[in-house]
């Protein structure tokens, strides 16, 4: 617990330093670089926590499998832009393996799939966006899954995740243009991206509805078959 | 020939971070021109001319789009060209938009070059020691992607042989797609647990184990890193002391050509064109040696 707090404090301090240094050195004009650094830094505490944690090799490999599955899914569905299973698979991992694994699957999926789609300054934003969605999915696990209305709740979460992802990526769209922030530009780009946002939301709901139970059953089965139950809460 | 990518991963990573930083920091037209030209020339050495032409076909319209739409969001500047909906469209805003577009597109091209030069194994080599668990996950996931793709092909072929989803209807194919996906999930999870068991059996994670890497930091890499650091430092110093500063508002500044500024341009262009020049030199040497045979 104590270590968790140290990591959080250090990260917050690092983010603050980046902001202050940005304001002092570049007269507060270079939001693009500063925002990339902040997006990266906000992933650091989760990565560090994961590095520190004692865990079984199996758990690490299962996360790697989920990351690879979401990247393969993104490649399979590449002809339809915006229609990607990354969010759904991240959420499913989070539901069955907890928030930390969810964050990892989301953020690493961004890194891995961008190796095939092209890395760029947008990678940290995708890492952060998908990571946070995974984290939230893991934290809301009880509410999302252990209910008779799980389909409705999960669909709502899918819609929320699509909108949130789109809004996080639009921050980057605005900042990439000239390095400064403008609310008019933000609202315009959200407006222009509306079809994509809708597509994200719809595809998230479709993938979550189709994949959650089958993958969940398979995960449970693997846990049972190989006696992995004790390592997960 | 990819002479530049023979440098140590650390040098390569440092180089790309430097050019990306410089490009994103500045809106100076001359610096952005150097950056864009350097990136496009380097990309044309790495990729086929056709691929570069195709990419230009995508980026040129994007450039125009950003340059033209900037005045819609920014009404600064003192030289109105015409009025649209009672808002002035200023020359300064258009030029600013053009510079911003140049920056975005240079960044895109540098990232293209990064993707070909700093391959994933180099990235993992650099960060593997810093984040051992994460880089293990990353490298395994990286290996799984082609493995799963091959497995997807196998499964779908087998399903076809079994007479499943051979019809042309969309719904049928989608259903088939999900059936294949379901099979791949089961297979990959079991495969993963087996891999983990095998790794444990071979003593993964036990203390005292080392790993081999193909990269070695040579004096040549040290020299390259030193030169890059000097060039980056010079460029940043030029920006900090306003030697390499340019302002668009309220009025577009005149380009000054004092010796200090010219020296600054020389430093930045040296940094931006370095990989291209190294490739050119390597090609010349190669052709020279071949002509001797």
Tens of pLDDT, residues A105-120: 998 998 888 877 777 7
Domain residue ranges in chain B? 4-120+216-292, 124-201
Asked if A186 and A174 count as a contact pair (C-beta separation under 8 A), the reply is yes
Q: Which of residues 159-178 of A touch B (CB under 8 A)?
A: 176-178
Q: Do A121 and B111 touch (CB under 8 A)?
A: yes
Asked if A127 and A110 count as a contact pair (C-beta separation under 8 A), the reply is yes
Q: Which residue in A119, A179, A226 is closest to B24 by CB distance?
A: A179
**The predicted structure's pLDDT at residue A23:** 59
Closest-CA distance of chain B to residue A108, Å: 7
Residues of chain A with C-beta less than 8 angstroms from the C-beta of B107:
120-121, 176
Mutate to test the interface with B, among A65, A74, A103, A113 (most CBs of B within 10 A): A65
A214–chain B Cβ distance below 8 A for any pair? yes
Mutate to test the interface with A, among B58, B127, B145, B248 (most CBs of A within 10 A): B145
Low-confidence ranges of chain A (pLDDT < 70): 1-12, 15-16, 18-31, 55, 79, 81, 177-180, 229-233
The C-alpha atoms of residue B138 and residue B195 are separated, in whole angstroms, by 15
**The predicted structure's pLDDT at residue B272:** 94
B120–chain A Cβ distance below 8 A for any pair? yes
**The predicted structure's pLDDT at residue A21:** 66
The C-alpha atoms of residue B80 and residue B266 are separated, in whole angstroms, by 34
Residues with Cβ within 8 Å of B88's Cβ and at least 6 positions away in sequence, in order, are B75, B77, B80, B81, B82
Closest-CA distance of chain A to residue B144, Å: 6
Residue found under tokens 């990269």: B215
A127–chain B Cβ distance below 8 A for any pair? no
Q: Do A178 and B97 touch (CB under 8 A)?
A: yes
What's the maximum distance between 2 C-alpha atoms anywhere in chain A?
59
**Domain A55-231 classified CATH 2.40.170.20?**
no
Residues of chain B with C-beta less than 8 angstroms from the C-beta of A111:
138
DSSP B82-101: EEETTEEEEHHHHHHHHHHH
Residues of chain A with C-beta less than 8 angstroms from the C-beta of B190:
222, 225
Q: Do A108 and B137 touch (CB under 8 A)?
A: yes
Instruction: Compute the Cα dihedral for B213, B218, B221, B226 and give only its sign.
Output: positive
**The predicted structure's pLDDT at residue B103:** 87
A72–chain B Cβ distance below 8 A for any pair? yes
The C-alpha atoms of residue A135 and residue A123 are separated, in whole angstroms, by 18
Q: Which residue in B21, B148, B189 is closest to A33 by CB distance?
A: B21
Burial B203-238 (b: 16+ CB within 10 A, else e): eeeeeeeeeeeeeeeeeebeebbeebeebbebbbeb
**The predicted structure's pLDDT at residue A5:** 62
**The predicted structure's pLDDT at residue A30:** 64
pLDDT tens, per residue, chain B with 293 residues: 478 999 999 999 999 999 988 888 788 899 999 999 999 999 998 888 888 888 888 888 888 888 888 777 777 777 777 777 777 788 888 888 888 888 888 988 998 898 889 888 888 888 877 777 888 888 888 888 888 888 888 988 888 888 776 666 767 777 777 788 888 888 998 888 888 888 888 877 777 777 778 899 999 999 999 999 999 999 988 887 877 778 777 777 777 788 888 999 999 999 999 999 999 999 899 889 888 87
**The predicted structure's pLDDT at residue A180:** 67
Q: Do B112 and A111 touch (CB under 8 A)?
A: no
Q: Do A222 and B132 touch (CB under 8 A)?
A: no
> Does the bond joining B250 to the residue before it have cis omega, within 30 degrees of 0?
yes
The C-alpha atoms of residue A199 and residue A162 are separated, in whole angstroms, by 8
Asked if A185 and A177 count as a contact pair (C-beta separation under 8 A), the reply is yes
Q: Do B66 and A121 touch (CB under 8 A)?
A: no
Q: Which residue in A115, A176, A225 is closest to B120 by CB distance?
A: A115
B228–chain A Cβ distance below 8 A for any pair? no
Residue found under tokens 């060209």: B81
Asked if B29 and B99 count as a contact pair (C-beta separation under 8 A), the reply is yes
């Amino acid at each position: 617990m104590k270590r968790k707090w140290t990591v959080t404090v250090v990260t917050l301090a690092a983010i603050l330093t980046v902001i202050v240094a940005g304001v002092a050195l570049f007269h507060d004009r270079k939001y693009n670089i500063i925002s990339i650094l902040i997006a990266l830094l906000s992933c650091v505490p989760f990565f560090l926590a994961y590095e520190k944690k004692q865990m079984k090799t199996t758990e690490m490999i299962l996360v790697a499998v989920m990351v690879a599955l979401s990247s393969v899914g993104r490649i399979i569905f590449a002809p339809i832009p915006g229609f990607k299973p990354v969010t759904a698979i991240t959420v499913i991992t989070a539901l069955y393996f907890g928030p930390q694994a969810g964050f990892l699957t989301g953020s690493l999926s961004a890194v891995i799939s961008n190796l095939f789609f092209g890395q760029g300054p947008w990678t940290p934003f995708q890492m952060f966006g998908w990571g946070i969605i995974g984290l939230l999915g893991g934290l809301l696990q009880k509410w999302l899954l252990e209910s008779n209305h799980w389909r409705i709740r999960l669909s709502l979460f899918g819609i929320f995740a699509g909108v949130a992802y789109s809004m996080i990526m639009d921050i980057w769209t605005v900042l990439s243009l000239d390095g400064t922030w403008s609310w008019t530009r933000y609202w315009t780009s959200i407006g222009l991206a509306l079809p994509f946002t809708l597509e994200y939301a719809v595809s998230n709901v479709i993938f979550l509805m189709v994949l959650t139970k089958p993958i969940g059953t398979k995960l449970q089965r693997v846990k049972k078959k190989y006696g992995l139950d004790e390592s997960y809460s | 020939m990819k002479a530049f990518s023979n440098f140590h991963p650390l040098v390569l990573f440092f180089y790309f971070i430097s050019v990306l930083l410089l490009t994103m920091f500045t809106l100076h037209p001359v610096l952005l021109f150097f950056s864009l030209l350097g990136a496009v020339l380097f990309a044309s050495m790495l990729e086929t001319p056709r691929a570069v032409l195709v990419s230009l076909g995508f980026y040129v319209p994007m450039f125009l789009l950003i340059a033209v739409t900037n005045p819609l969001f920014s009404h600064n500047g003192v030289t109105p060209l015409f009025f649209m909906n009672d808002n002035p469209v200023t020359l300064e805003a258009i030029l600013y938009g053009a510079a911003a577009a140049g920056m975005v597109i240079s960044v895109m091209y540098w990232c293209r070059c990064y993707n070909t030069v700093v391959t994933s194994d180099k990235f993992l080599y650099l960060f593997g020691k810093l984040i051992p668990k994460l880089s293990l996950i990353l490298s395994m996931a990286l290996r799984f992607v082609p493995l799963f793709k091959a497995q997807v092909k196998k499964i779908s072929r087998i399903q076809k042989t079994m007479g499943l989803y051979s019809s042309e209807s969309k719904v049928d194919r989608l259903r088939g797609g999900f059936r294949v996906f379901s099979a791949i999930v089961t297979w990959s999870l079991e495969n993963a647990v087996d891999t983990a068991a095998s790794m444990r059996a071979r003593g993964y994670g036990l203390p005292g184990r080392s790993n081999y890497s193909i990269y070695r930091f040579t004096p040549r890499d040290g020299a390259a890193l030193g030169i890059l650091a000097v060039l980056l430092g010079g460029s940043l110093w030029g920006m900090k002391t306003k030697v390499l500063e340019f302002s668009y508002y309220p009025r577009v500044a005149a380009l000054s050509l004092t010796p200090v500024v010219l020296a600054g341009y020389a430093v930045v262009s040296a940094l931006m064109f370095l990989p291209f020049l190294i490739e050119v030199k390597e090609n010349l040497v190669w052709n020279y040696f071949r002509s001797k045979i």
